Each structure stands twice: as structure tokens, then as C-alpha cells.
Amino acid sequence: MNREALSFWTKAYQSGCRITHDGTSFQFQNAINYAQRMNLGGFGRFPKEEDADPPPWVYQGVEEHRRGLLSILRQEPPKRYISFFYHLLVLDYEVKPIEIHALAAGYRIRGVAVNGGQFLWSEGQCEPSKERDVAPEPPQILAHLERIKL
């Protein structure tokens, strides 16, 4: 995993620009941070994807980090979890439930710590886990938010 490219991707995301790749070209959508996402009613919810017009520094960074970005954005996550990829996620209430659910289904997905959250990384298939770990419960102040739906 190219940490420099991931660091650039994270900065772009935090500035409001989510960078993805559709197999042929880079795509730019509006992004909001997880605190703003909580206003959508729960964990694992994202606003409707809308194209963004990134600032010049993002275009420059994409050119500078092209190879590294391709290595992290061309993952092939399991379809069931793809909507959670390429977002900054909350460790305990988004990443941990995804990791546990995916492992039980025979996929190794992990969160990679970045500045401001977690980035999902797919490590492919594995033997389904027979252990039934439980994700942490949100504190009382967040109890009104829906849990992530998998």
C-alpha cells in the first residue's frame, strides 16, 4: 500500500473531494466527514454521490501520485461491502462491524488508520470465521443513531 498516495487521498477527502477510479479514469465526488454524516441518521450512511470540481491542487496531486492512487483505488472489494470503500470511516462503529461481518462471510477486510479515520483495505477471501466477535456498542450519547447495516 502506498502511504504517500493514501495520505494525499485522505487530505483530498477531508477537503470535501472523494477520489475514486472507475477502471479507466479518476472520478471526483463531493465528500463529507463522519461528523456531518451523523446528521444523515446513522453509521454507514453516505450522501448521494455528486460529481465535484476539485481544486487545482487535487488535480496536481492525482498526477503526482497516479501510480500509488491506482494501487489503492483498484481494489476489488466484495460487492456486498463496496459502498463502504473509499470513504473515511469510524473505527469502532463502522470498520469493526464490517471486519467482523466480512470475516464471517469469508472475506478479509481491515481498516487502515489514516489521519481522521479509517480507510478500508480488502485482502481477499479467507476461510469463514466460526468465531462470533461483537462490535463495540456506541456510547449513550450516540445511541439514537442507527447502526451500520450490512
- Convert the pLDDT of each residue in 16-60 to its tens digit: 999 999 999 999 999 987 778 878 777 888 888 899 999 999 999
* 52-95 confidence digits (pLDDT tens): 999 999 999 999 999 999 999 999 999 999 999 999 998 888 89
Q: How many residues does the chain have?
A: 150
Report how far residue 39's alpha carbon sits from residue 82's, in angstroms, rounded to the nearest whole number: 22
**Among candidate residues 126, 122, 130, the one with its CA nearest the CA of residue 80:** 122
Whole-structure pTM value: 0.86
Ranges of beta strands (E only) in 5-88 are 17-21, 26-30
Is residue 111 within 8 A of residue 119, CB to CB? The reply is yes
Decide: 19 and 26 in contact? Cβ < 8 Å. Answer: yes
